[in-house]
Amino acid sequence: MLEIYVDADACPVKDEIVRVAERHQISVQLVSNSGMFGFSRHPLVTQTVVACGSDIADDWIAERIGPGDIVVTQDIPLADRCIKKNARALRPNGKQLDQASIGMALATRNLMTDLRSTGEITGGPPTFTKSDRSKFLQALETIIQAIKNT
């Protein structure tokens, strides 16, 4: 059965995910290093708090996600792991990652990491906008409809 896994610590679209999940009656797994407020009593949402540490939440998700499930994450290596298990990967800005795009996304991520480590680039990702939120909602709905129609 389809589930949505959320790399939840810094995810700006948790409320939107739950709204879409309600409409389609899909279970949501919020996985984080700390508790999330507002979701504890929601019947479709399971919150899992994992120990603090590098990649612990990612490992939890990657071990449990299955074919046809959806992961919402900014983490490119986690998206890669999930795609390899035939899951769908969606970033909070609405960009879907798949077999065709994950290689370039990993290469870009690695290049940017190298440039930041040498001081060539500083700063983080662009500010999250209303347009990003709208694109995310549309992309999540499209993915769910595609899964339901297969």
The number of folded domains in the chain is 1
Chain segment 85-138, per-residue pLDDT in tens = 999 999 999 999 998 988 888 787 778 777 778 887 766 678 899 999 999 999
pLDDT at residue 67, rounded to an integer: 96
Are the C-beta atoms of 48 and 28 separated by less than 8 Å? no
pLDDT at residue 114, rounded to an integer: 75
pLDDT at residue 34, rounded to an integer: 83
Q: Could you give the CA distance from residue 66 to residue 3 in angstroms, rounded to a whole number?
A: 9
Torsion angle in degrees (nearest 10) through CA of 149, 97, 28, 57: 150
DSSP 141: H
For residue 55, what are the domain limits?
3-148
pLDDT at residue 1, rounded to an integer: 82
pLDDT at residue 118, rounded to an integer: 83
Q: What is the CATH number of the domain that holds 140?
A: 3.40.50
Q: Grade residue 54 by pLDDT with cuts at 50, 70 and 90.
A: confident
Q: Could you give the CA distance from residue 2 to residue 87 in angstroms, rounded to a whole number?
A: 10
